[in-house]
Amino acid sequence: MSTDKEDLAIDEEFQSVDEDEEPQAEPAKTNLSKRRTIDNMLEERRLQRQLADFDYDL
């Protein structure tokens, strides 16, 4: 570590965020819809694995 004081470069293009602005939240309905879609895809993959493991010799 050096003890010399170095000039720090400041990025002039930095966009400040207003503290008054609240981040735009997605509606709960959209989030629920996405969650259900993911759950359905995971369930389908689980069932496909079970079918692949199933012994068809009867």
Rounded-to-integer distance, Cα 28 and Cα 10, Å: 39
| pLDDT higher than 60, residue 1 | no
Q: pLDDT of 9-19, one tens digit each? A: 665 665 665 55
DSSP 46: H
- CA Rg value for the chain: 27
Q: What is the pLDDT of residues 17-57, one digit of tens each?
A: 555 666 676 677 889 999 999 999 999 999 999 999 887 76
Q: How many CB atoms lie within 10 A of CB 5?
A: 6
Q: Write down the number of H helices and E strands in the chain.
A: 1, 0
pLDDT at residue 28, rounded to an integer = 79
User: pTM for the complete prediction?
Assistant: 0.47
Return the amino acid letter for 32: L
